[in-house]
Structure 1
């Protein structure tokens, strides 16, 4: 194994061209120079607004989860509430909006858990993670045309089982949940 003791350096941007606009992404191509070997590489970047998701806990400590069909995987997933941050919207406001729209739950106790890079190889956005505690069901769902959501609540042991069995494997949901819970199987 080759152990290099110097950190990688940023690649020089040589050229940037717009690619096709997609529904939720704008694509662009960059030609960059690898500082290690001097070779040029064409890279694809998908520009996206930031995302937000919410670990919502009931007064009894159960997590509010959503089940919904996802087009990319062609399957129903188990995840935490979340979505795209609207233009000009702060991520805290987006977290509150998404929780209310997707689940009908609201909270007065919010904690910012930090952000993750969903896929920095090709995406330039962040996913902001929020914790909402003592959530209460107050509203009807207000779903987008592309959503069909079922709500479930689960104790941490059930979440761990769902993670271990592969039933819960949405990467951004796992990132948010892992900021609150130890998701390793209980032995």
Structure 2
């Protein structure tokens, strides 16, 4: 849908980093006026809702420099060039948690910050979790602690803002709505 479309007339690259790129777009608005838009280009990411056979939600705690604090999140990571989201989901689940899954089911995709970034997260539900004996290593600049919590504990973490990011808060809401429907079996 392109209702209220803004037509780009010029793109000026500003920064080309390891993860993101920043550009400034000159646009023509629907009313004919012109404006500038600062846009972050991101390769996209995946996130995984994983629940153990005991009904515990698998989470990781890690420091997020942009927030200057640690937060608790569902396993997630960025897409590598040319990589299918399900492959990234399987890799990130293994690297961050030491779990594999018999199946990964795509749930939905969503924009994280559409006002200034094009990042889309592909959300998966992991079913049939099992521990991996020789799990893949974390990225060299990644430090995480594994947590396995009940739905009630996760809901409390949202309220007290230990869970502070949208993808994980969404995962907790989705789990609360669907756990009793046995969608994780």
Superposition TM-score, scaled by structure 1 size: 0.88
Conserved 8 A contact 2:151-2:175: no
Residue 49 of structure 1 pairs with residue 51 of structure 2: no
Query: Secondary structure of the residue that 2:141 maps to in structure 1?
Result: coil
By how many angstroms is 1:109 displaced?
Answer: 2.5
Conserved 8 A contact 2:155-2:172: no
Conserved 8 A contact 1:130-1:176: no
Q: 2: CA distance between counterparts of 1:24 and 1:75?
A: 20
The equivalent of 2:166 in structure 1 is 171
Conserved 8 A contact 1:113-1:179: no
Q: 1: CA distance between counterparts of 2:158 and 2:125?
A: 19
Superposition TM-score, scaled by structure 2 size: 0.89
Q: 1: CA distance between counterparts of 2:61 and 2:118?
A: 27
Gap runs ≥5 in structure 1: 1-6
Q: Give the length in aligned residue pairs.
A: 176
Task: Give the counterpart of 1:29 among 9, 24, 35.
Answer: 24
Task: Give the counterpart of 1:103 among 72, 91, 97.
Answer: 97
Task: Give the counterpart of 1:148 among 143, 152, 158.
Answer: 143
Q: 2: CA distance between counterparts of 1:115 and 1:175?
A: 12
Gap runs ≥5 in structure 2: 179-185
